[in-house]
Structure 1
């Protein structure tokens, strides 16, 4: 039986879009952009707006910070306690156009040795977990190769 692809958090990205991007929201009154998305009111304390539009966020940004996760995180993170823990790399990426920092895991195979503050990275689709019925999709960050 084929498994269903499901986003880990519905509405945060379109897993089937040809131009894979995170989806935020933007206040019509003040222009502030939010991720994770906000659908009820503007989180800008200087604005009382409540009209928000969905906006795709930049696909590229620069490394603001990074670290490696060498511990098994608590629930709701899914991991098999009978399997050896594999460290993963976390990347905080600054999106200049949106004036925000977005956290995410690095793409498979990317380690802290592959990253540097200020280096350019791009958003790529990823898989967080798989079970008998679902493939749980997410986003990842991957260094942009120098041209």
Structure 2
């Protein structure tokens, strides 16, 4: 699977995870990784895999094509966008696999997934999204 940006991910025993950073001084997490802490301005940050599961904190549906470089494939369809709380870490902005407002609810358990984003001369490129957890 080809990914939109390999530097955003890391391999874990459970599969691919988002790669964030954690400040050695205040323990704040960031995504994507950063070299300086936005909370305390500390400069010692370690790479950490982020949780693959969380809860939907807020959401909306993207009903119009975003501006480049976020346009994705030629065939545009509305998609869910949300904030997912990764327990003990942070809240990450993300695509959602579901776009039907009737099926999205704040607090629903979600898990990391990978979805087609666009095609290029080497084939399909995937990005991350969150989907309702199987046990949700």
Q: TM-score, normalised by structure 2?
A: 0.85
Give the one of 22, 27, 34 matched to 1:31. 27
Higher relative contact order (CA 8 A, sep 6+): 1
Structural RMSD (CA): 2.3
**Counterpart position of 2:8:** 12
Q: Between Structure 1 and Structure 2, how many residues are aligned?
A: 135
**Counterpart position of 1:93:** 84
* Aligned positions of 1:1-147 closer than 5 A: 5=2, 7-14=3-10, 19-38=15-34, 40-44=35-39, 47-78=40-71, 79-80=73-74, 83=75, 85-98=76-89, 100-107=90-97, 110-146=99-135
Q: Deviations over 1:89-117 (max 9, x none)?
A: 1121111210x21111112x552222111
Q: TM-score, normalised by structure 1?
A: 0.79
Could you tell me whether the CA contact under 8 Å between 2:96 and 2:131 is conserved in 1?
yes
Where in structure 1 are there 5+ consecutive unaligned residues? Answer: none
Could you tell me whether the CA contact under 8 Å between 1:20 and 1:124 is conserved in 2?
no
Which of 1 and 2 has greater Rg?
1
